[in-house]
């Protein structure tokens, strides 16, 4: 029976806290994407963060199980991180689309990758790193969005209604030459 259900070394309260933390972190990043009607939103980011958390916890449990056995087993938790980043990178790449000469979805893909990294941090128990990463990600997504829009509005002030720059608006160029 012990082989069918190996013992869990982390307390259930720790497991629940880590799963909830990963879900909340993913939700915070995903909400911003959802509010802007992006392809990967709330549910996707929650699932990415939660999945990464599960893989990290599983790695910790496998290490603890290997340490409790007499036979030596080589365990490398960095392989879990590599596998999660590769998997999330694959998902994130699916959000990137080129249409009509424009590339879209890069920020959403990066947000998914960040959700995975935060999920790994929480799964391994590195709450402060996860919190700081989440804060930096939210500042990047929310605050810098408004900075970019302000810059775009300022630039569009020198454009004509067709979107073409007037000769007078181009620095260093004179019309009629």
DSSP 3-state of 6: coil
Per-residue model confidence as pLDDT tens for the chain (177 residues): 567 888 889 999 999 999 999 999 999 999 988 998 888 889 999 999 999 999 999 999 988 888 877 777 777 888 999 999 999 999 999 988 888 888 888 999 999 999 999 999 999 999 999 999 999 999 998 888 888 888 888 888 754 444 444 444 444 444 443
Instruction: Report how far residue 153's alpha carbon sits from residue 94's, in angstroms, rounded to the nearest whole number.
Output: 30
Instruction: Report how far residue 15's alpha carbon sits from residue 54's, in angstroms, rounded to the nearest whole number.
Output: 9
User: For the chain, how many helices (H) and strands (E)?
Assistant: 6, 2
| pTM, entire model | 0.76
Contacts of 49 (CB under 8 A, 6+ apart): 22, 23, 25, 26, 29, 115, 116, 118, 119, 122
Q: What φ, ψ does residue 75 adopt, rounded to 5°?
A: -125, 130
């Amino acid at each position: 029976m012990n082989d069918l259900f190996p013992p869990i070394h982390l307390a259930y309260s720790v497991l629940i806290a880590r799963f909830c933390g990963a879900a909340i972190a993913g939700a915070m990043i995903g909400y911003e994407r959802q509010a802007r009607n992006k392809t990967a939103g709330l549910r996707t980011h929650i699932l990415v963060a939660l999945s990464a958390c599960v893989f990290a916890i599983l790695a910790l449990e496998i290490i603890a199980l290997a340490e409790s056995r007499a036979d030596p087993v080589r365990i490398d938790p960095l392989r879990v991180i590599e596998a999660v980043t590769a998997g999330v990178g694959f998902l994130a790449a699916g959000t990137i689309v080129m249409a009509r000469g424009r590339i879209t979805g890069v920020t959403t893909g990066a947000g998914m990758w960040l959700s995975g990294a935060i999920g790994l941090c929480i799964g391994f128990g590195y709450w402060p790193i996860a919190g700081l990463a989440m804060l930096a990600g939210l500042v990047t997504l929310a605050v810098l969005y408004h900075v970019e829009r302000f810059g775009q509005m300022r630039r569009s002030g020198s454009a004509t209604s067709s979107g073409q720059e007037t000769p007078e608006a181009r620095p260093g160029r004179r019309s009629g030459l």
